[in-house]
Structure 1
Amino acid sequence: MATAYGGPEVLSVIDVPVRDPGPGEVRVAVRAAGVNPIDYKLYGGLFGSDPANLPMRLGVEAAGVVTAVGPDATGPAGPVAVGDEVIAWRAPGAYAAEVVVPAAAVAPKPAALSWAEAGGLPTAGATAVHTLEAVGLRGAETVLVHGAAGGVGHLAVQLAVARGATVVGTASPAKHGVLRELGAIPVAYGPGLADRVRAVAPRGVDAAVDTVGTDEAVDVSVETVPDRSRIATIAAFERGAQAGVRLLGGAPGADPGTRIREAARTRLTEEAAAGRLRVLVARTYPLREAAAAHREVVAGHTTGKVVLLA
């Protein structure tokens, strides 16, 4: 939990009782919980710093085993039973040994996914789907993905490739091999990025997705994509608003894409179960080391997802 507003140093492990599930709810023993930017933005004060919200439970996604069910506990795949291995999303307070969530929030965990992979899939995956829908990616087009090796980026790359798109992905040179494996054409960020993008996409870029939030990402997107309505950012809200591109997520004025993200869950688990969607796990940390996990995510240089193991 976050016991104050500030940086990762305000995080602590606190023992609290876990209630029994009520009607339509289930209790899940958490095996893995994904770390997402929204987690540290909440206690960082981005959305306010009301003391009444402290201590603040963190986490929105988890994978684990159902330990108890309330009456009428039915999820998207049918009745939920004790012993079911599930992915829970949205799961407020997922940084925990156990969490109680609506049965509607749990879906069967694909056997092909490890606990860490399953715990890191839903939030980033749903966001990736939303970005591609927002920019209207259609078939054999070219899309530029900034931060293509990150938690959202590496999933957006795979989903775009599956649609038949040509994907140009920005990343540091050390990550270019991974991007090639995922089907993207890698380019290094930094001075001259727009020219490098044009060199690998001589027919032009149809759409762009920014997952990193830098001025460079927005500026290069605007420079290379003719239609600003086909540029979306999940991070550069102030700069994106100034540039007139689409803002996605939970920030004021952004499109939350609730229906798109909710509907994406089934598709994501099906694609992962079939081996058509890889969840790259950058690193795992024990739950008690959540502060260290947050420092790594804040630094912004991970390949894939950072995941807490309970």
Structure 2
Amino acid sequence: MRSAKYSGPGSAADVISIVEVETPTPGPGQVLLRVGAAGLNPVDVKIRAAAHDFGVIRYSALPGWDVAGVIAEVGPEVTGWAPGDRVHALAAFPDIAHTLAEYALVSASDLAPIPSTWSTAQAGAAPLAVLTAWQALDAAGVRDGQRVLVLGGAGGVGHLAIQLAVARGAEVVTTGSPAKHELLRGWGAAEVVDYRDEQGLAAIAPVDAVIVTVDATLPPRGAVREGTSVITITGLSAAQTAQLGEWGASPVQRILVHADGAELSEIAMLAEAGRVSVHLDSSFPLDDLAAAQERVETGRATGKVAVIVDPTI
């Protein structure tokens, strides 16, 4: 089968190639997926550029975690899934998965059905970002009637966090450039502020939870009251964390997403009901994986970038 491969650390154009590798065989608890599409995330380009593990996130020369496709074969001890099922997954994260290929092995426990409202490209692009958003909202304890601030609402995680928070009954405030305000409101944000508008940011009333999707970004002081939960998927410095504590934020927590087919199945039900959609910034064929990663590296993608492996799925 054809598969993406990294030759070592470096730029996408220099180290990415498409090679022939042996098609794997599913073991106990696994399925073999014929891949239709896969998603890219900031972690994909960062780990490619460095070519080493990031803490518990494992590096592999054969990359990929997000995946959507059709089950080709089921291994021993797999129940509830059969060849021909259309599924998607965040495969094995933060361990090695190898989904940027024509076939991929995926644990049955990581699988969820592809919502009928999503294309294969949307389903392939969604898992890491949508599970990150879901798990961040869980960590913040977001529930009906609360106010939630999503910093970076137009990004891969941000646009899904807005929709999932609204689906939980929360009122969402978010930040983004003016060109994206219409999209942000369309995803359900009740209040949208230009991230460069200092007066607008200062005017944000206190919220119950903040979801930080932008590197090293503190929420506006006025948005944080005693007991505001601040959940970040990026790094905050020790000084920033201490500052939030002085403002009364609790908890202040950085999360790392984990694969979870049951949660992804819950999200699929929301998608079937029209509550959650995946905005595709762009899509690229597997042969143009370097260009796809370069698009992610710009930091200007709106929503998600997808890699199309088999356009017939």
Q: TM-score range by the shorter chain?
A: 0.7 to 0.9
Aligned identity (percent) is 39
1:22 deviates by 2.1
Equivalent residue runs for 1:171-250 within 5 Å: 171-184=176-189, 185-192=191-198, 195-199=199-203, 201-202=204-205, 204-214=206-216, 217-218=217-218, 220-227=219-226, 230-238=229-237, 240-241=240-241, 243=243, 245-249=252-256
1:227 deviates by 3.9
1:183 deviates by 1.4
Q: Secondary structure at the match of 2:156?
A: coil
Q: Secondary structure at the match of 2:19?
A: coil
1:156 aligns with 2:161: yes
Q: Provide the C-alpha distance between the structure 2 equivalents of 1:81 and 1:67, rounded to a whole number of angstroms.
A: 8
State the match for 1:90 in structure 2. 91
In structure 2, relative to structure 1, the CA distance for the partners of 1:207 and 1:104 (3 Å cut) is closer
Instruction: Please tell me the residue identity of whatever aligns with 2:192.
Output: P
1:198 deviates by 4.7
Equivalent residue runs for 1:262-277 within 5 Å: 263-277=262-276
1:141 deviates by 1.9
Correspondence for 1:170 among 171, 175, 182:
175
Deviates more, 1:102-111 or 1:294-303: 102-111
Higher helix share: 1
Correspondence for 1:137 among 124, 142, 157:
142
1:233 deviates by 1.2
Asked if structure 1 preserves the Cα contact closer than 8 Å seen for 2:62 and 2:100, the reply is yes
Q: Secondary structure at the match of 1:300?
A: coil
State the match for 1:303 in structure 2. 302
Asked if structure 1 preserves the Cα contact closer than 8 Å seen for 2:116 and 2:272, the reply is yes
**Cα displacement string for residues 145-183 of structure 1 (whole angstroms, at most 9, x for unaligned residues):** 111011100110011112222211111111100011111
Q: Secondary structure at the match of 1:235?
A: coil
- Give ranges in structure 2 of 5+ residues lacking alignment: 245-251
In structure 2, relative to structure 1, the CA distance for the partners of 1:55 and 1:106 (3 Å cut) is closer
Asked if structure 2 preserves the Cα contact closer than 8 Å seen for 1:5 and 1:44, the reply is yes
**Cα displacement string for residues 176-226 of structure 1 (whole angstroms, at most 9, x for unaligned residues):** 00011111121111151xx31353x44x22221111114xx31x3455212
Q: Provide the C-alpha distance between the structure 2 equivalents of 1:54 and 1:169, rounded to a whole number of angstroms.
A: 33
Q: Provide the C-alpha distance between the structure 2 equivalents of 1:126 and 1:48, rounded to a whole number of angstroms.
A: 21
- Give ranges in structure 1 of 5+ residues lacking alignment: 250-255
**Cα displacement string for residues 46-94 of structure 1 (whole angstroms, at most 9, x for unaligned residues):** 8549xxx8861211111101112222222xxx1x211111113225111
TM-score (norm 2): 0.84
Q: Provide the C-alpha distance between the structure 2 equivalents of 1:55 and 1:168, rounded to a whole number of angstroms.
A: 38
Instruction: Please tell me the residue identity of whatever aligns with 2:303.
Output: G
1:288 aligns with 2:292: no
Q: Provide the C-alpha distance between the structure 2 equivalents of 1:147 and 1:157, rounded to a whole number of angstroms.
A: 10
State the match for 1:81 in structure 2. 82
Q: Secondary structure at the match of 1:13?
A: strand
Q: Provide the C-alpha distance between the structure 2 equivalents of 1:45 and 1:242, rounded to a whole number of angstroms.
A: 29
Deviates more, 1:125-134 or 1:233-242: 233-242
Asked if structure 1 preserves the Cα contact closer than 8 Å seen for 2:34 and 2:72, the reply is yes
Q: Provide the C-alpha distance between the structure 1 equivalents of 2:137 and 2:53, rounded to a whole number of angstroms.
A: 30
Q: Provide the C-alpha distance between the structure 2 equivalents of 1:42 and 1:299, rounded to a whole number of angstroms.
A: 16
Q: Provide the C-alpha distance between the structure 2 equivalents of 1:6 and 1:17, rounded to a whole number of angstroms.
A: 25
Asked if structure 2 preserves the Cα contact closer than 8 Å seen for 1:147 and 1:170, the reply is yes
Q: Provide the C-alpha distance between the structure 1 equivalents of 2:156 and 2:150, rounded to a whole number of angstroms.
A: 12
Q: Secondary structure at the match of 1:178?
A: helix
In structure 2, relative to structure 1, the CA distance for the partners of 1:291 and 1:223 (3 Å cut) is farther
In structure 2, relative to structure 1, the CA distance for the partners of 1:158 and 1:69 (3 Å cut) is same
Equivalent residue runs for 1:60-75 within 5 Å: 60-74=65-79
Asked if structure 1 preserves the Cα contact closer than 8 Å seen for 2:208 and 2:227, the reply is no
Correspondence for 1:6 among 10, 16, 29:
10
In structure 2, relative to structure 1, the CA distance for the partners of 1:303 and 1:42 (3 Å cut) is same
Equivalenced residues, count: 289
Q: Secondary structure at the match of 2:234?
A: coil
In structure 2, relative to structure 1, the CA distance for the partners of 1:44 and 1:165 (3 Å cut) is same
1:248 deviates by 1.4
Correspondence for 1:32 among 30, 37, 41:
37
Asked if structure 2 preserves the Cα contact closer than 8 Å seen for 1:63 and 1:86, the reply is yes
